[in-house]
Amino acid sequence: MTSPAKLTVALVQQSNTDNAQHNMAKSMNAIREAAQKGAKLVVLQELHRSLYFCQTENVDVFDLAETIPGPSSNALGELAKELSIVIVASLFEKRATGLYHNTAVVLEQDGSIAGKYRKMHIPDDPGFYEKFYFTPGDIGFEPIQTSVGKLGVLVCWDQWFPEAARLMAMAGAEILIYPTAIGWDPNDDIAEQTRQKDAWVISQRAHAVANGVPVISCNRVGHESDPSAQSDGIAFWGNSFIAGPQGELLAEANNTDEQILVVEIDQKRSENVRRIWPFLRDRRIDHYKDLTKIYRD
C-alpha cells in the first residue's frame, strides 16, 4: 500500500468529566471538526472516554472496560467510514474476565479495525497506579498498516523508552503516535513543572530525530481530582504537539485549553532526512547485545 506524499493529520486535546457518554460525544464532535479542516488521520488522547481513573485502585472502575470490537470501537469505526478518515483511539480493553489492557485501536477509512496496540510499559507511581488495572501488552512493537501509512502507535509511558520508538521504526513505521495522559502534581513549583514538561517534549522530539519520522503526541488537559482525597489530584499539562522528522515543531497546543491541532506533514521528508542523517545505517548491532539486560552489573 502506497502512503500519500502529503498527509493532513490532527490531534484532539480535551478535558474530561466522569460522564463517559459526554466525553465520547466531545471526542466525536472534535473528530468531525478536524475532518472538516481536511484531516485524514485524527489522534485522540489516552483513555479519552473517562477521567484518568488510575489515581486510585478501585475494583469498580473495571466496569468502564469494554471489548474490542465493542461499543466505542464500533461507534468510532462508523464515524471513520462516514468521514473517510483514519482514527487512532485509546480504550480500556476487557480482553477476558480479570484480564484488561490499555489499548490503542486504529479505525480504517472503511470503518474496519486496521489493528490495535496494547501498552507495553505500565507505570506504577503515586497517582499513576496503572499496574492495578492493566496487563502489559503482548502484541509487541508492530506498526499498523493503514490507507494513510504505516503507523507506529505507542501509549503514554512508552514515550520515555527509545527502544520502543526504534523497534517501531525498524519495523517500518512512518509516523510515531503517542496517545497520552500526563500532568503535574499541583504542589510542584513552576520550575519543577517546567522541567517535567520540557523533558517530556524533548524525549519525544528526540524519537523523531533518532528515527527520522514525524511524531504525534496527544495529551489531555485540565485538573482531575483524586477520588480518595489523599492528594490534590493531577493537573494535566496538555502541550500536545506534532513534530517533523528532524524534531521540528509543526504545531503545538498550550497547557490550559482544549484544542484541535491540524497540520499537513510531508511524508517524503523522512526519506530525505534519513539520507543525510543515516542513523539506521550506522547502528552497531554487533555491540548492542547488552541492551537485552536489565542492567550491567
Residue 211 reports pLDDT greater than 80: yes
Tell me whether residue 218 is one of the annotated catalytic residues.
Answer: no
Cell representation of residue 295: 542492567
Sort strands 124-125 and 128-129 into parallel, antiparallel or unpaired: antiparallel
DSSP of 38-50:
T-SEEEEPTTTTS
Instruction: Read off the amino acid at residue 92.
Output: F
What does the pLDDT average to over 217-232? 96
Q: How confident is the model at residue 162 (pLDDT cuts 50, 70, 90)?
A: very high
Top-tier CATH class for 6-292: alpha beta
Give residue 202's pLDDT. Answer: 98
Can you tell me the distance from the alpha carbon of 45 to that of 236, in angstroms, rounded to the nearest whole number?
12
| Helix runs in the chain, H state only | 20-36, 71-83, 162-170, 190-211, 269-276
Give residue 297's pLDDT. Answer: 87
Query: 40, 9 in Cβ contact below 8 A?
Result: yes
Sort strands 149-153 and 144-146 into parallel, antiparallel or unpaired: antiparallel
- Please identify which residue in the block is written with the cell numbers 532526512: 273
234-282, pLDDT tens digit by residue?
999 999 999 999 999 999 999 999 999 999 999 999 999 999 999 999 9
Q: How confident is the model at residue 101 (pLDDT cuts 50, 70, 90)?
A: very high
Can you tell me the distance from the alpha carbon of 85 to that of 34, in angstroms, rounded to the nearest whole number?
10
Catalytic residue among 26, 40, 46, 130: 46
Orientation of helix 71-83 relative to helix 20-36, angle to 10°? 20
Tell me whether residue 119 is one of the annotated catalytic residues.
Answer: yes
Residue 2 reports pLDDT greater than 90: no
Query: Residue 257 contacts by C-beta under 8 Å, 6 or more apart in sequence?
Result: 13, 221, 238
Residue 1 reports pLDDT greater than 80: no
Catalytic residue among 26, 108, 150, 156: 156
Tell me whether residue 174 is one of the annotated catalytic residues.
Answer: no
The neighbouring-strand residues paired with 129 are 124
112-155, pLDDT tens digit by residue?
999 999 999 999 999 999 999 999 999 999 999 999 999 999 99
Give residue 4's pLDDT. Answer: 84
Backbone dihedral angles phi then psi of residue 149, each to the nearest 5 degrees: 130, 175
15-40, pLDDT tens digit by residue?
999 999 999 999 999 999 999 999 99
For the chain, the structural domain boundaries read: 6-292
